[in-house]
Amino acid sequence: MPELRKDPIIGRWVIISTERAKRPEAFRKYPNVKKGGFCPFCEGNESHTPSEILAYRPNSSARNGTGWTLRVVSNKYPALMIEGDLGRVGMGIYDHMNGVGAHEVIIESPRHEDTLSQMSTNQINDIFWAFRDRILDLQNDKRFRYILIFKNEGEPAGASLEHTHSQLIALPIIPKRMIEELDGSQSYFNYKERCIFCDIIRQDISDGDRIIDENEEFISLIPFAPRFPFETWILPKRHNSRFESAQKNELESLSKILKRILMKIDKVLEYPPYNLVLHSSPFSIPSDDYYHWHIELMPKLTHVAGFEWGTGFYINPTPPEEAAEFLRSASIT
Amino acid sequence: MPELRKDPIIGRWVIISTERAKRPEAFRKYPNVKKGGFCPFCEGNESHTPSEILAYRPNSSARNGTGWTLRVVSNKYPALMIEGDLGRVGMGIYDHMNGVGAHEVIIESPRHEDTLSQMSTNQINDIFWAFRDRILDLQNDKRFRYILIFKNEGEPAGASLEHTHSQLIALPIIPKRMIEELDGSQSYFNYKERCIFCDIIRQDISDGDRIIDENEEFISLIPFAPRFPFETWILPKRHNSRFESAQKNELESLSKILKRILMKIDKVLEYPPYNLVLHSSPFSIPSDDYYHWHIELMPKLTHVAGFEWGTGFYINPTPPEEAAEFLRSASIT
């Protein structure tokens, strides 16, 4: 059983993942993503993954067989386990909890050669619908407090398989980063009676120099204080705290703007590895007034080093306005 | 002039380092550490660094010439600039400050082939004395609120030059991570009237299974909730909030225990890259009762990925008690 542990000093939780415990020799070389070779996520290899939780099968093909366009399965090496109760206990000064949670993989395409930036907006739209379907289902499990969805693209960004996929982790706690975002946006709302994200959109449209792209429903921009070079946020223009209550036309617009920004990043930075994270309000917290869901996209270009670990803040070598200009002017066709 | 910028949502500061602004092409390949070739940190190449701020010269050799055993110089590509005032301004909803600060390099040896783990404890002791000398000097500059000292060893851990060195950054703000540590340890003190670090040392000695090594004045252990596999802390047994008030015999003991832990890590993990960070109380905050200085040492073995960026917490694949056992039982001679 994996464990959740809480640092007694700053309150940060850690998953001790006993199910995939590594011995020192496993760290002696960086694992290489297999180029070609056997891939459990490819169509035809369905028996090599855990049984499917959800699949889109346009021709009503049989469960766990071929003929799908998107498939959701449990992670074969989960960081958290779906069975069991939380078992909160204190151990002297330390707090301990069982590592209960869901860890799922969204296989975004049956084809090994597909990458998100080159897929059609319809295919990308299906991925967002799968996110929505899984969130709505997992919200029924009362043990969970937060559902995180993210994508690691490329080995330096943490992907262990190169076949295009996203991951979902349902957690029995609200993570530190989300609490910080909720606290910050709530304080702002209490003071100004406005959503801080709505104010960011308004000011950044007015300033203009951090905007990359926009359409009817979404805007993409480099934030004012990005941690990383070319860090990009995609925000809905309509105030809404939760991704899962986005409307059908919004998900279509989101698919379009995401494809465009990924193509621009691929063009400017030549297919960098990246992390993409969906930020949405926990369903257990009434934050409709002050929180605003969005996507954060971070190309993996620099190493996090002693300075960042020691301070919790970041040295970013590219001014955001310059990064935005590079991406804004990148032509894609 | 580089800038400090504050994320308006969670309050995290970022340095926008215009002085070493990078264009996109700089990110298209990971920079490789030069193996051999010209090194500005080697003895004889003193004219290729900024003028020295401090040097240990046992035979009283001339400033900026050969004959030194340790040398401190300004970073040639500083993240912060020593000249100027803070210039705090608001820009609509955003907060902005000039990037004023010191960024120094401690060149730990004149010899390119030295690595910290193989240096004598006397040499290591000199490095700690240099840290102390620089902290005491920079505390006189009233613009600074915090002095961070850290070491990046190896290119994957962020080192851009392979010649053994540490870095010092004096900041006009107290970083988020330090505020969290101070707040957490102060809350604990207010409730229990004891230092939480002292309680950790007491409980971990009693539990036994996370201890790696100890001597008269120091203990090294894997913390209860480490972010990374084989993350190691070194703590003084005597309660003391600030590194710079450590006594002479303590610095000697620290040098010995650090050399031993680095040798153990090199043995078990085969010379991994790592980050080492000194955690010490800001001189501007009266935290003598509740804070406890220490060193955090993080071998760079895993990639930080979407999950960590989205949550602010970490998946650690090695239980701390197992990591401690590997290091405890590693024989070094």
pLDDT band, residue B34 (cuts 50/70/90) = very low
What's the number of CA atoms in the CB half-sphere (13 Å) around residue A330? 21
Q: What is the rounded CA–CA span in Å between residue A320 and residue B4? A: 12
CA A278 to chain centre: 4
Pair (A87, A197) in one structural domain: no
Q: Which of B32, B266, B316, B329 would you mutate first to test chain A, the one with the most A CBs within 10 A?
A: B316
Q: For residue A242, is it within any domain?
A: yes
How close is the nearest chain A Cα to the Cα of B291, in Å?
A: 10
Asked whether residue B31 is domain-assigned, the answer is yes
CA–CA separation, A236 vs A291, rounded Å? 12
Is the domain of B95 the same as that of B206?
no
Strands of the sheet containing A146-153, edge to edge, are: A52-56, A70-74, A102-107, A165-171, A146-153, A274-279, A294-299, A232-236, A218-221, A211-214
Average pLDDT score over residue span A225-247? 95
Contact call for A17 and B94, based on CB within 8 A: no
Angle between helices B248-269 and B320-328 (to 10 degrees): 100
The count of structural domains within chain A is 2
- A252 within some domain: yes
How close is the nearest chain A Cα to the Cα of B58, in Å?
Answer: 30
Distance of CA B223 to CAs A176, B131, B322, Å?
19, 25, 12
Do A152 and A185 lie in a common domain? no
Are the CB atoms for A322 and A233 separated by under 8 Å? no
Q: Could you report the per-residue pLDDT of A144-199, keeping only the tens digit for each?
A: 999 999 999 998 898 889 999 999 999 888 888 898 899 999 999 999 999 999 99
Higher pLDDT, A316 or A108: A108
Q: At what angle do helices B121-138 and B248-269 cross, to 10 degrees?
A: 120
- Which band of pLDDT confidence, cut at 50, 70 and 90, is reported for residue A17? low
The one-letter amino acid code at A92 reads G
Q: Is B218 helix (H, G, I), strand (E, B) or coil?
A: strand
Residue B23 pLDDT grade (very low, low, confident, very high; cuts 50, 70, 90): low
Chain B hits for A314, CB-CB cut-off 8 Å, are: 12, 14-15
| pLDDT, tens digit (0-9, with 9 covering 90-100), for B43-87 | 999 999 999 999 999 999 999 999 999 999 999 888 888 887 777
Residues of A whose CB is below 8 A from B304: 158, 304
Closest CA to A105 of A53, A68, A56, A146: A53
Does residue B333 fall inside a structural domain?
Answer: no
- Phi and psi at B61, nearest 5°, equal -70, 165
Nearest Cα to A293, choosing from A243, A330, A244, A253? A243
CA B165 distance to own-chain centroid: 11
Is residue A302 located within the same domain as residue A190? yes
Assess whether pLDDT exceeds 90 at residue A333. Answer: no
A96 marked as part of a ligand binding site:
no
Given B112, B141, B173, which residue is the final one in a domain? Answer: B173
User: What's the rounded Cα separation, in Å, for the pair A119 and A109?
Assistant: 9
pLDDT tens per residue, range B234-260: 999 999 999 999 999 999 999 999 999
A209 and A325 Cβ atoms separated by less than 8 Å: yes
Of A308-312, B4-8, B149-153, B198-202, minimum mean pLDDT range: B4-8
In a shared domain, residues A226 and A162:
no
- Residue A200 belongs to some domain of the structure: yes
pLDDT grade for A209, boundaries at 50, 70 and 90: very high
Q: Which domain covers residue A130, as residue numbers?
A: 3-173
Mean pLDDT of chain A: 88
With a cut of 60, say whether residue A268 has pLDDT above it: yes
Residue B59, CB-side half-sphere exposure with 13 Å CA sphere: 5
Backbone angles phi, psi at A323, to 5 degrees: -60, -45
- Which of A224, A272, A299 is nearest residue B94 as measured by Cβ atoms? A224
Please answer yes or no on whether A196 and B309 come within 8 Å at the CB atom. no
Residues A130 and A16 in one domain: yes
Same domain, yes or no, for B21 and B116? Answer: yes
CATH code for the domain in which residue A227 is found: 3.30.428.10
Q: A333 lies in a domain?
A: no
Going A124 to A125 to A126 to A132, the CA torsion angle's sign is positive
Q: How far apart are CA A82 and CA A74, in angstroms?
A: 10
Cβ A317–B203 below 8 Å, yes or no?
A: no
Residue that wins the pLDDT comparison between B54 and A272:
B54
* Residue A45 neighbours by CB distance under 10 Å: 15
Q: Testing the interface with B: which of A3, A6, A27 to mutate, by most B Cβ within 10 A?
A: A27
Q: Which residues of B does the annotation place in the binding site for Zn(2+)?
A: 39, 42, 112, 163
**A219 plus A304 within the same structural domain:** yes
Cβ-defined contact of A303 to B92 (cutoff 8 Å): no
Task: Identify whether residues A47 and A143 lie together within a single domain.
Answer: yes
Could you give the CA distance from residue A275 to residue A300 in angstroms, rounded to a whole number? 7
Instruction: Flag whether A290 is in a domain.
Output: yes
Same-domain status, A95 and A229? no
> Among the three residues A173, A188, A223, which one is the final residue of a domain in this structure?
A173
Pair (B10, B152) in one structural domain = yes
Judge whether B96 counts as a catalytic residue.
no
Establish if B30 belongs to a structural domain.
yes
Q: How far apart are CA A54 and CA B77, in angstroms?
A: 52
User: Does A164 lie in the same domain as A62?
Assistant: yes
Query: Burial code of A106-134, b = ≥16 C-beta within 10 A, e = fewer?
Result: bbbbbeeeeebbebebebbbbbbebbbeb
Boundary of a domain, candidates B173, B198, B228: B173
